[in-house]
Structure 1
Amino acid sequence: MTPAQLITFARGAPSVDIVDIAGLKAAAIRAFDTDSSIVTPYGASTGYPPLRAWIAAKHGVPVEHVLITNGSLQADAFVFEHLIKPGDDVIVEKPTYDRTLLNLLKQLQAKVHQVTVNDDGIDTGELRKLLESGVRPRIAHIIPNYQNPAGVTLSLQKRHELLGLAAEYGFTIFEDDPYIDIRFRGEALPSMLSLAPSVPGAAEAVVHASSFTKTVCPGVRIGYLVASPSVINPIAARATSLYISAGQVSQGIVYQFCVVGDLDKSIATVSAALGERARLLAESLRRHVPDARFTEPDGGYFLWVDLPDDVHVDKLVPAGIEHGVAVVKGSDFLLEGGEHSLRLAFSGVTDDQIDEGVRRLAEAIAAVRG
């Protein structure tokens, strides 16, 4: 690594060194050897049948409740397009994924309400007050595990509270969960999808989305939805009219990768690598930027940093580029605020880049202050 190389904490994607290239090559060969007559033509818009069945078994639902998409962002777009009309109230987290906030919901002309995210997830008390004030959301978009961008996890208690509110006020919880398997420590929490049948009135309140992007590799572009057929069927019809079927070859490769156990090995590799990177990033921030405030994540790709009020990210981001480090400003994830916050992605940097990257960020902060 030379000083001229840009170190980027901006992109939420795994570095190539932790992608199981050999496993994917072998899976591709098996996909063509065992099922070439199915993976090479057009397929059904609901997805490649063996992978669809594998996903259904993973979530303990009938196969009719699963639809495979070209990445989880397309799953998001389908759900929003199906459920939201212009002017509908929508709940999102504060902060939330910028493509959800800016690219999708604003295009649909939804009335977006952001609800504060705490260390244990969305503030359900604040949400209840909003509901009691008369707001009637069509949907609440929640990233429950290792949230993008805040890195926090929704507690079990709050999962139950959200389901209760959905049942009481009649809105859909869109559980957007691509990071669930990238866990460094702690016990896995049950999804709201799995909890919903035990909450009176919430049995069909959850639409669940996830992806193989974070656990296999981004290039496979395979996401999926799990929901009742009343949601899945019209979305499948829409998918047929848009692109006939999601990429069959990619689905065949992912299925073969999963069915022989390589997905579990990949999850273990990615989780171990990113856990170490998260630890190194936190150590480096404490050393080089001691007045930064952050919650060290238990999994996922991201760490959210709050900086002192004399550091404005509109100045810091370009200063960072000048010093050889890329970050994303917190204001990108908020309707208002975030001018003194950053999202740092530790997924795409190698261990030896992290301390140098944070040192460069500290130099940029000093330059902005000066």
Structure 2
Amino acid sequence: MSVADTKPVSFARGAPSLDIVDVEGLKAAALAAFDSDPAGVTGYGTSVGYVPLREWIAKKHGVHVDQVMVTNGSMQADAFLFDQLVKADTPVIVERPTYDRTLLGLRERRGQLHPITLDEDGLDVAELRALLESGVRPAIAHIIPNFQNPAGVTLSMPKRQELLALAEQYGFIIFEDDPYHDVRFRGESMPRLLDMDGGKGNVVYASSFSKTVCPGVRVGYLVGPSGLISQICKAATNTYIAPNMVAQAIVHQFAVSGALENSVKTVRHALNERADALAAALRKHLPEAKFTVPDGGYFLWVELGEDIDVDALLHAAAARHVAVVKGTDFLLEGGQGSLRLAYSAVRAEDIDEGVRRLAEAVHSLR
């Protein structure tokens, strides 16, 4: 086997590859942060996060600064929100499939999970309406509206409107988990549910700089009603006093310098090229596979058929130096024959070879 044949290809991790991370821009932002605000960068700070970044986020979303909290990554924002709203047997709406760590966090809090089918245009709102009409009263509905992880689909405008109407009618909070909004690489951008809600308090919004800057900064944030954010900040104070001021100050300088805007452009271009390359490779090597090519984000969901055991496929692919994530990880039940492929970390020139090996693994099981 040649060196080229043994080079690992990983479709497993939703992270940008190093070649599209602006390392020099981050170095400059770090220097600027320490030069401009050494006391703020090196001090404890408070649980709301680095104040200048908090103010920048508030301005970005057109909300009062009291509605914003900056956290150590958006997963920590999720955890704080779930701690406030989800107790044992609390009904919770989730998408089917959905992010595996979301399922883990909600199950650890013993929430009563109600998965709702995802269509090509997002959540099956009719199915949700039927559930609500049956008497289920969720506290929260977790929605990834743009380029959903793992399915890659986007919630359509009519469904956004209907979902907001249902939240108001039945009194639940929409948790808009939206780290991929800014990495759309084709098509028209959709308005955020947060913006469409018009300040009614039916939406809590979370996002992250992991997908637009780099995962290593571990900076995310929550936007929501000021009373709820205040409660979460108190819990955060008791947990860690304050999040990482150094990382948040660097992100702030990266944003205000214009480097963030340039970084987003770089990431979008690379993702577009990689998504197209992955779709072409799947059509070439696995023509029987079913998938929807996303208009942004990091992931593509592939249906290979019920005759494929994804547990066995995981090992067969690994033997060929290809890493994938099995679809069963993203569902409470089902998902056999499905995979999530992350194209963000794979250079375009390596994608065809990776899919060729994956196809070889699939065919070995048949």
Q: TM-score, normalised by structure 1?
A: 0.97
Counterpart secondary structure, 1:2:
helix
1:349 lines up with 2:346 in the alignment: yes
CA RMSD, 1 decimal = 0.8
Paired position in structure 2 for 1:97:
99
Which residue of 2 is the match for residue 151 of structure 1? 152
Q: Does 1:315 align with 2:312?
A: yes
Q: Which residue is equivalent to 2:136?
A: 135
SS of the residue 2:142 aligns to: strand
Q: 2:75 aligns with which of 73, 76, 94?
A: 73
* Paired AA for residue 185 in structure 2: F
Match of 1:336 among 333, 338, 355: 333
**Structure 2 counterpart of 1:278, from 236, 257, 275:** 275
Shift of 1:309: 2.1
Residue in structure 1 matched with residue 296 of structure 2 by the alignment = 299
Report what 1:231 is aligned to. 228
- 1:83 is matched with 85
TM-score (normalised: structure 2): 0.98
Measured in 2, the distance between the counterparts of 1:207 and 1:160 equals 16
Structure 1: unaligned runs, 5 residues or longer? none
Cα distance, 1:188 vs structure 2: 0.9
Task: Report 1:104-119 matches (<5 A).
Answer: 104-119=105-120
Distance in 2 (alpha carbons) for counterparts of 1:108 and 1:49 = 31
Task: State yes or no: 1:192 paired with 2:193.
Answer: yes
Q: What secondary structure is seen at the aligned counterpart in 2 of 1:76?
A: helix
Counterpart in the other structure of 1:13: 15
Q: C-alpha distance in 2, partners of 1:21/1:80?
A: 34
Deviations 1:84-113 (A, max 9, x none): 1100100000000000012x0010000101
Alpha-carbon displacement from aligned partner over 1:190-229 (angstroms, at most 9, x marks no partner) = 10100002xxxx8101000000000000010000000011
How much has 1:5 moved relative to structure 2? 2.3
**Residues 235-277 of structure 1: CA distance to partner in whole angstroms, max 9, x if unpaired?**
0011111111110011110000000111010000001001100
1-structure distance, mates of 2:112, 2:281: 40
**Could you list the runs of 5+ residues in structure 2 that have no partner in the other structure?**
none
Alignment partner of 1:92: what SS? strand
Query: Which residue of structure 1 lines up, in the alignment, with residue 164 of structure 2?
Result: 163
Shift of 1:353: 1.1
Partner of 2:127: 126
The letter for the 2-side match of 1:349 is: V
The amino acid that maps onto 1:216 is V
Cα distance in structure 2, aligned partners of 1:310 and 1:145:
30
Q: How far 1:166 sits from its partner (Å)? A: 0.3
Q: Give the AA of the match of 2:309.
A: H
Measured in 2, the distance between the counterparts of 1:39 and 1:240 equals 18
- Pairing 1:42–2:44 present: yes
The alpha-carbon deviation at position 311 of structure 1 amounts to 1.3
Aligned counterparts of 2:305 and 2:151: Cα–Cα separation in 1: 17
For 1:226 and 1:195, the matched residues in 2 are separated by: 14
CA distance in 2, matches of 1:65, 1:261: 24
Specify the code of the residue in structure 1 equivalent to 2:145.
P
1:149 partner amino acid? P
Match of 2:241 in 1: 244
> Aligned partners of 1:100, 1:165: CA distance in 2, in Å?
22
Moved more, 145-154 or 1-10: 1-10
Note the C-alpha offset of 1:2: 2.6
CA deviation vs aligned residue, 1:133-173 (integer Å, no higher than 9, x gap): 11111100000000000001111111111100000111000
Runs of 4 or more, structure 1, over 6 Å off, are none
- Counterpart in 1 of 2:173? 172
Are 2:67 and 2:225, in contact at CA under 8 Å, matched by a contact in 1?
yes
Determine whether 1:220 maps to 2:217: yes
Checking the alignment, whether the CA contact within 8 Å between 2:6 and 2:321 is kept in structure 1 is yes
2:60 equivalent in structure 1? 58
Identity over the aligned pairs, expressed in percent?
Answer: 60
3-state SS of paired residue (2:148):
coil
**Contact 2:6 2:320 (8 Å CA) reproduced:** no
Deviation at 1:25, TM superposition (A): 0.4
Tell me the secondary structure at the aligned position of residue 264 of structure 2: helix
Counterpart CA distance in 1 for 2:200 and 2:156 is 20
Tell me which residue corresponds to 1:182.
183
Whole-angstrom distance in 1 between the partners of 2:36 and 2:170: 49
Q: Distance in 1 between matches of 2:245 and 2:266?
A: 26
Cα distance in structure 1, aligned partners of 2:228 and 2:338: 37
For 2:84 and 2:306, the matched residues in 1 are separated by 41
